[in-house]
Structure formats: structure tokens, C-alpha cells
Amino acid sequence: MARSKDLEQQNANIQSQLRAQLQAQLQEWQQQRVALGEDPNDWNAFREHLATIGAPEATIGAPEEQFEDFRMEEPSTQAARSA
């Protein structure tokens, strides 16, 4: 299995590419959760989803500084911004 150091030597942009891919997967998953009336910010459920689709592990836990970047805004906040 390749190590992140090895991957970064082969592709200096690997971290930003993986982060963009993870963010796209998360946004799609969150939209599906909202449509089903489920919590779109349940990090553990998202990690389970990644495991189900065979994606690499996002993180061991949900570090607040990283997870906050991915937290979906509450509908009331979105509505206030567009008003």
C-alpha cells in the first residue's frame, strides 16, 4: 500500500485533490440525507457511507477544525443570506 509521503512525491497536489473529492462526496451525501429527513452533519454516518462505497477512510474522528469546513448550513441560515 502506498504511503501518503510516496503519493505526495508522485503528485504534489494529492492532498488538495483528495480533499476536493471528499468534499464533493460529502455534499452529495448531505443532499441525500436532507431529502430523507436525516441529519446531514452526522460525521459517523458519513464515515460509514464511505466504507460502504469502498472509499478511503476520511479521518479517524471528526476533528472540529476539519469537520466545520464540511458542516452543512442550517436551512434558516441559508434563507437569511438570500434575503
Show the domain range for 39.
14-82
Within a domain: 40: yes
Amino acid identity for residue 1 in this structure:
M
In this structure, are residues 31 and 70 in contact, taking their beta carbons and an 8 Å threshold?
no
Q: What is the pLDDT of residues 21-58, one digit of tens each?
A: 888 888 899 999 999 999 998 888 988 888 898 877 66
Q: How confident is the model at residue 13 (pLDDT cuts 50, 70, 90)?
A: confident
pTM: 0.61
Query: How many domains is the chain built from?
Result: 1
Within a domain: 4: no
Q: Which three cell numbers stand for residue 76?
A: 434558516
Q: What is the pLDDT of residues 51-77, one digit of tens each?
A: 898 877 665 555 455 555 666 676 554
> Grid coordinates 443570506 are at which residue?
81
Within a domain: 72: yes
